[in-house]
Structure 1
């Protein structure tokens, strides 16, 4: 497919490309290579951002290389595979190796990283053979890492390559969400965001495992999307970034929780208790420290709450 044919196809779906315009991955790369991104994602980026040279980490089966070949622009790829599938892809350890100079004269870096070991798609000694002398590439394979280690590795790579990009350059990360054993994992929620956030694009996924399953829980919503995050490097000296931080706060120490919130939480925990036990659950916490008449406030809240009922003198329970 040549550039003109690609442009005409892209223009047909100019505003809907990642909203469902393309269900096929195009003629690029290897469709049997697990975890492949559609070549139309790369083509979309080249088209929308007028990319002059594309660099790519996690280059995989050569999809990005093939798209850039047909588009007619230079391409530089990097992949953990010691035997890269294209001449313009180098064997590269994104965690330990320094970013090559070729990245510094690319105006966009694209990355579609493995999605941790939760989706069970390893690459080292699975998609390709580790032929290195020490045979230890599996330890650097993001597709083999548990979630916490994977997130740290992904964010390290993001910061490293953002620093290497030229001022005015962009990085585009295609990431996904995963549900395992009732828990939801979001790469976007946990990823570092260096630079200026320019665009978040929701990309539907086609031919997913969820498509072939029937779920007994009718309220269950399958994950059939990926997220394309585009970041721009506006400053060559300062690295502006946001990093997710998780906090935990006892509701009894919260400045925004009301007395009703706190008493309800305590009663949900206790079920039924006398005032002495209820007081002991609240005493010493910030809400009580801030009000010298906090015991009176607790009693008032119990009496006014529709979620609590008085079962005996000085005894309260959660209303049925």
Structure 2
């Protein structure tokens, strides 16, 4: 009887161990989730009423956030930002009423520059800190489809990332073969450190354009996408004619929707007739509100339906806001 009792105890012990191992193997940690899901733990608040309503959410409280970007197409939003030396993103399919969990967009990259039409996503990122060299991809291009997944959240599906494809340059300025590394020396005339802007990608006519700035230098230029000819197919990037210009040492160059150039020392970002400065002041609204508390960097977008979206780095972290163009109150951090 005693032996039988011990055998039964051993059997129970083994069963418990198997159960623990099974649970551990099937419970993936949150950080390793392959797919985005709606972030049900994210507090989203609504303050004010009528034209003075402000929707807001603190998306991250990390102290190493940079390069906030918000892009909008209808009710679909992509929020992207740098965290450390990686780029993360969140999505919303209902105009900011809910958001997905944060997932990685690109590792060892900075300064997301996002083209978004509601279905296709194309993001230019600066890799390896922007340092150039023969074997270093300075600018990478990420392509994917904005798609609803089985977890009820949108994500960039079918995502692929590769070095920027170049074509033979305008005016004899070569960019390397298709699919090859684009070297800064071929555009800037020297080995230097460059970066793309962070913000909403701009299409002028039938071309997409990317502003590249020399870091701690005085040169910037514009690359534009061109349809390749045989034997190649698809799009390639090349220097826009007469686009090489000078800038301030610390300026990063951006492009407005009308094709005009502006500097981040003057404006953080433009969207339609509205703009936001790095300290959060919004122009184009009668009340000229200021967003946030001690705002350090900012992005702005509009949806064509009378709504403005801002993403700011400020005291308390990375903050999202949505409000109407006729707002006049100081609700939730908007100050007249």
TM-score normalized with structure 2 length: 0.26
| Structure of greater relative contact order (alpha carbons < 8 Å, 6+ residues apart) | 2
In the superposition, the TM-score normalised over structure 1's length comes to 0.27
Greater percentage in strand? 2
- Report which of the two has the higher share of helix: 1
